[in-house]
Structure 1
């Protein structure tokens, strides 16, 4: 019987973005509060009763938060243009060695209602 557990974190960060609409404001350095959620799906371990120890997942998310929080995302190695899609991939790649593996990464900005989901 599979279960899905989640861990959320947030970070405040700035970036620029080259785009065709809302172009002038996007090209200037501006910031957002981002929210991220990492999901792990799998069976309960018969010994621990857990899919994954959430303390371990929380620590990994905290390390990611430290890489992103109050940074200029344009300068984060391996991220590329700071789109919601690229943030999902960046987080998924950073957690690629997680066991069980992440099953979903979600990144959103509540202030403007934007979001992205990467199903793995």
Structure 2
């Protein structure tokens, strides 16, 4: 069984490695949507895999590092593309939630990245 929870955060960034004149070379922002998928079995008397409140408790400190911050200032994220950001997120979430199966990060309503730790 896979459960999921979605989080949103607003962050600014610029992409230092794109060519001069590319619009993403300039500072700009996104309202990101992060969906975290957990794989496991129903355990215990409550009839759930993990309490969604506990999942939120684990993920919120990571989101707070990103929300209303410049992603270029994060340690280990010098080139904050969506692809690099999703790996950065994975590495932090996986330490807290070993059952992490997949994360999806949307930069816009129509663009995003899916990562399964490969």
5+ residue gaps, structure 2, are none
Corresponding residue number in structure 2 for 1:119: 116
Change (3 A) 1:98 1:109: same
Corresponding residue number in structure 1 for 2:49: 51
Equivalent pairs counted in the alignment come to: 116
C-alpha distance after superposition, 1:26-74 (max 9, x if no partner): 1111111111011001111143322222111111221111000011100
SS in 1 for 2:59: helix
Q: CA RMSD in A?
A: 1.8
SS in 2 for 1:103: strand
Instruction: Say if 2:39 and 2:101, in contact at 8 Å, map to a contact too.
Output: yes
CA distance in 2, matches of 1:81, 1:56: 31
Superposition TM-score, scaled by structure 2 size: 0.87
Stretches (4+) displaced over 3 A: none
